[in-house]
Amino acid sequence: MIPLVDLQAAHAEVAEEVDAGFKRVLATTGFVGGPEVAAFEREFAEFSGAAHVVGVANGTDAVELALRAAGVGPGDEVVVPANTFVGTAEPVARIGARVVLADIDPATYLVDVDKMLAAVTPRTKAVVPVHLYGQMADAAKLRSLLPEEVKVVEDAAQAQGALRHGRAAGADGIAATSFYPGKNLGAYGDAGAVLTPDQDQAITVRTLGSHGGLQKYVHDLVGVNSRLDALQAVVLRAKLARLGTWNRQRREAAARYHELLAGVDVVLPATLEGNEHVWHLYVVRIPGGPSRRDAVLAKLHEAGVGAGIHYPYPLHLTPAFADEKYPAGSFPLAERAAGEILSLPLYPQITVDQQEQTAAALKVALSS
């Protein structure tokens, strides 16, 4: 079986370092916050070019806390891409704001910036460009064209190490990320962070995530409990030291897929000009609609290839975010992509043989 992502291979590279770090934490019983978390925040800030990093419990919380720090509240509108994981939209609803959707660019599957701008109304408080599959949406263009009162909150859960014109998410504006185990930088459970160049925003995020106060029993705001655990920080520090190498290996694997699949009846992934891609996912497109794509996926599974779909339904076609203003057909590009996209196995430790087997199985499945 060729897995979609091989977490065991990644663990094997860091196992000794993680074991030593766990022993440090266990010896001091400093399980929440503490020096391991502070060290990771500092190291990830340096890696990302962000002035401030605040560790939180998970990526969904990171989006919510970033939105709240940006001033989003009940009754506001927040524009998000139709093609994204539900964890981008849930925080908007949890705040009491309204989710507004925008369609995507059909080549990159990133949000179409012009359509995101067109969805802005006088009630819009923020937009959330999602850096999808390992490359960045054009957040800088959004910041340059939006009115000052509309904030850009980047969802960078799939783009740790990605660059746009040499700048990473969080370097020029507030961003949220997830360290879910399968991410390029993954913890051994749930974890996340908010990155920002603004010290006041960082203090607000840290305050909100610690029951609304930075001192015990002092609660200045109505906050939540969303803090990064020290054990997860140990894992993240060990993996962060290897992330540059791992992202390079992902790029090499993606280039190999480009070669192996040249001339095959699939649409290969495209990289937006100015981006340095880190290939969280390698997403091809199977022409012919969902029935053909699903048949190809089934045949890949039969052949022992762990392919997947990211994501099978645009947000407005999920029961949770169904909206009478957004019937089927409202976002045709996202809807068509959802019926044709297919994610192939890709991770730093994938072998040439595994990729060749995957490509061969895909060619057989397409011809069946």
Strand (E) or helix (H) holding 191? none
Residues of the domain holding 119: 7-237
Average pLDDT over residues 67-79: 98
Tokens for 293, please give them.
């794509």
Q: Give me the number of domains the chain comprises.
A: 2
- 314 in the same domain as 232: no
- 253 in the same domain as 165: no
| CATH code of 67's domain | 3.40.640.10
pLDDT digits (tens, 9 = 90+) for 245-284: 999 999 999 999 999 999 999 999 999 999 999 999 999 9
Q: Kindly tell me if the per-residue pLDDT of 20 is higher than 90.
A: yes
Average pLDDT over residues 38-44: 98
Q: In the predicted model, what is the mean pLDDT of the chain?
A: 98
Q: Are 310 and 343 in contact (CB under 8 A)?
A: yes
pLDDT digits (tens, 9 = 90+) for 156-173: 999 999 999 999 999 999
- 352 in the same domain as 256: yes
- 230 in the same domain as 85: yes
Distance in angstroms (rounded) separating the CA atoms of residues 53 and 55: 6
- 84 in the same domain as 217: yes
pLDDT digits (tens, 9 = 90+) for 162-212: 999 999 999 999 999 999 999 999 999 999 999 999 999 999 999 999 999
Average pLDDT over residues 92-110: 98
- 272 in the same domain as 189: no
Distance in angstroms (rounded) separating the CA atoms of residues 91 and 67: 8
Looking at 209, 237, 265, which one is the last position of a domain? 237
Domain membership of residue 1 (yes or no) is no
Tokens for 139, please give them.
């957040």
- 230 in the same domain as 302: no
Q: If pLDDT is split at 50, 70 and 90, which confidence band does 368 have?
A: confident
Looking at 189, 209, 237, which one is the last position of a domain? 237
Q: What is the pLDDT of residue 51?
A: 98
Distance in angstroms (rounded) separating the CA atoms of residues 128 and 176: 10
Residue positions counted in the chain: 368
Looking at 237, 255, 281, which one is the last position of a domain? 237
- 193 in the same domain as 97: yes
Domain membership of residue 2 (yes or no) is no
Distance in angstroms (rounded) separating the CA atoms of residues 275 and 139: 12
Q: Is the pTM of this model over 0.75?
A: yes
Q: Beta-carbon neighbour count of residue 313 at 10 Å? A: 17
